[in-house]
Amino acid sequence: MAVVLGHNQYGKAENRVVRVFRDSDPHEIVDYNVSVALWGGQEAPHLTGDNAPVLPTDTQKNTVYAFAKEDDVVAQPESFGIRLARHFVDETEPITHARVRIEMYPWTRLGNPHAFTRDGRFVRTATVTYDGSTTWVVSGVEDLWILKTTDSEFADFLEDRFTTLAPTHDRLMATSLRAQWWHTGEDVDWGKSHDRVVQTVLETYGNHHSLAHQQTLFDCGAAVLEEQPEIAEFRVTAPNKHHFVYDLARFGIENAGEVFHADDRPYGLQELTVRRDDAPAPGLAFDPGQGW
């Protein structure tokens, strides 16, 4: 047998770029964390240490900051990612694939044209993958916390010898959502589209009468796909942030779902995909992370 090189990728991760638009009045800013991964034609450095095909990650860093100067491109994480991914593949022999992942930290303007405060409601994300012909654009959101004080049930579930949970028809439900959605086209107002998805998810989650967390999450994805035809697939990871009713009866105090302990670990975790039945396969759209 011989030992061979399998899939490999490399790049500069977590370039923290802040871009100020001074021509606009008031000033605008975008705050990004940009990670680049490239692959294609990289056998030599792995097998012999020959760096001829290696575009140094330091050069990738310079490129990220250089392209951040291009106003239209940098204004939205999706367009910035598209610009960078295509550059690295189209301009760099022998690179065949690029994936650019961007985290965006929203800021809110204060009462003057050049001061801002960080809006910590969520982190916006964009992942763009390009193989020399196809460009996959995935938008997303992370750390989006939602809590419902009622309208959530969990009952009539499977039981086995290890079942001790009591069914409930009224519980507090909370999560910190991580979602990603794949756009089949690029003719999109990225900012507007993102705002609308977040709004749809919040409204659906908040208004849904939930028999199962899975049902609530599926409905969030379904609502997004029904409203925005340019979105073909929606993936969500949602921890069930458990809030346990604290036993106050021991002290002669009634606790009718008023006082809760917010527990850390363990936590339920639901992960699911919602897609159009006529959508093409997502191909390389979604970053497989460590699993490749």
What region, left, alpha or beta, does residue 283 occupy, with left being phi > 0 and alpha being psi -120 to 50 degrees? Answer: left
Binding flag, residue 182, its own copies (CB under 8 A): no
Two tokens at 219? 């409905």
Q: Is 169 a catalytic residue?
A: no
Distance CA 91, CA 86 (A): 8
Binding flag, residue 48, its own copies (CB under 8 A): yes
Which one of residues 25, 72, 161, 169 is an interface residue with its own copies (CB under 8 A)? Answer: 161
Q: Is 57 a catalytic residue?
A: yes
Minimum CB distance to its own copies, residue 200 (Å): 12
Binding flag, residue 169, its own copies (CB under 8 A): no
Mark the segment that binds its own copies (CB under 8 A) among 76-84, 187-195, 271-279: 271-279
Binding flag, residue 121, its own copies (CB under 8 A): yes
Binding flag, residue 280, its own copies (CB under 8 A): no
Binding flag, residue 58, its own copies (CB under 8 A): yes
Distance CA 114, CA 27 (A): 5
- Selecting among 61, 208, 241, 242, the annotated active-site residue is 242
- Selecting among 27, 57, 96, 149, the annotated active-site residue is 57
Q: Is 12 a catalytic residue?
A: yes
Which one of residues 90, 143, 189, 227 is an interface residue with its own copies (CB under 8 A)? Answer: 143
| Nearest alpha carbon to residue 180 among 29, 38, 288, 106 | 288
Binding flag, residue 183, its own copies (CB under 8 A): no
Binding flag, residue 132, its own copies (CB under 8 A): no
**154 is annotated as contributing to ligand binding:** yes
Give kind and range of the element (H or E) at residue 18. Answer: strand 15-21
| Nearest alpha carbon to residue 176 among 237, 262, 243, 105 | 237
Which one of residues 90, 165, 185, 186 is an interface residue with its own copies (CB under 8 A)? Answer: 165
Give kind and range of the element (H or E) at residue 82. Answer: helix 77-91
Distance CA 282, CA 38 (A): 19
**58 is annotated as contributing to ligand binding:** yes
Which one of residues 191, 227, 269, 283 is an interface residue with its own copies (CB under 8 A)? Answer: 269
Other Cβ atoms within 10 Å of 207 Cβ, number: 12
Which one of residues 132, 134, 150, 195 is an interface residue with its own copies (CB under 8 A)? Answer: 150
Two tokens at 270? 């639901």
Distance CA 253, CA 93 (A): 72
Binding flag, residue 112, its own copies (CB under 8 A): yes
Which one of residues 135, 200, 265, 280 is an interface residue with its own copies (CB under 8 A)? Answer: 265
Which one of residues 185, 189, 214, 280 is an interface residue with its own copies (CB under 8 A)? Answer: 214
Two tokens at 9? 């990728």
Distance CA 157, CA 154 (A): 8
Binding flag, residue 84, its own copies (CB under 8 A): no
Phi, psi of 67, rounded to the nearest 5 degrees = -70, -20
Mark the segment that binds its own copies (CB under 8 A) among 76-84, 181-189, 235-243: 235-243
Binding flag, residue 260, its own copies (CB under 8 A): yes
**Cβ contact 34:15 at 8 Å:** yes
Distance CA 30, CA 222 (A): 30
Q: Tell me the catalytic residues.
A: 12, 57, 242
Binding site for O2: which residues?
Answer: 57, 240
List, as residue ranges, the binding site. Answer: 57-58, 154, 171, 214, 240
